[in-house]
A and B are shown apart, each in its own frame.
Chain A
Amino acid sequence: AQSVTQPDIHITVSEGASLELRCNYSYGATPYLFWYVQSPGQGLQLLLKYFSGDTLVQGIKGFEAEFKRSQSSFNLRKPSVHWSDAAEYFCAVAGGGYQKVTFGTGTKLQVIP
Chain B
Amino acid sequence: EAGVAQSPRYKIIEKRQSVAFWCNPISGHATLYWYQQILGQGPKLLIQFQNNGVVDDSQLPKDRFSAERLKGVDSTLKIQPAKLEDSAVYLCASSLAGYPQETQYFGPGTRLLVL
Q: Which residues on A sit within 8 Å (CB–CB) of B41?
A: 105-106
Q: Are B43 and A99 in contact (CB under 8 A)?
A: no
Task: Tell me which residues from 89 to 113 in chain A have a Cβ below 8 Å from any Cβ of chain B.
Answer: 90, 92, 94-96, 98-106
Interface of A is mostly: strand
Known pairs A32-B101, A49-B103, A98-B56; A103 contacts B42 (CB<8 A): yes
Q: Are A101 and B101 in contact (CB under 8 A)?
A: no
Q: Which residues on A sit within 8 Å (CB–CB) of B91?
A: 43-44
Chain A residue nearest in CB terms to B35: A103
Q: Are A43 and B44 in contact (CB under 8 A)?
A: no
A72 in contact (CB, < 8 A):
no
Across the A-B interface, how many residue pairs have beta carbons closer than 8 Å?
Answer: 62
Q: How large is the interface on A (under 10, 10 to 19, 20 to 34, 35 or more residues)?
A: 20 to 34
* Shortest Cβ distance from residue B8 to the other chain A in the assembled complex, whole angstroms: 14
Q: Which residues on B sit within 8 Å (CB–CB) of A92?
A: 42
Q: How large is the interface on B (under 10, 10 to 19, 20 to 34, 35 or more residues)?
A: 20 to 34
Q: Are A94 and B100 in contact (CB under 8 A)?
A: yes
A42 in contact (CB, < 8 A):
yes
Name B107's contact: one of A43, A90, A94, A102 (CB within 8 Å): A43
Known pairs A41-B108, A105-B41; A98 contacts B103 (CB<8 A): no
* Sample of 25 A–B contacts (CB below 8 Å): A32-B100, A32-B101, A36-B106, A43-B91, A43-B106, A43-B108, A44-B91, A44-B93, A45-B106, A46-B103, A51-B100, A51-B101, A90-B43, A95-B100, A98-B50, A98-B55, A98-B98, A98-B99, A99-B31, A99-B104, A101-B104, A103-B42, A104-B42, A105-B41, A106-B42
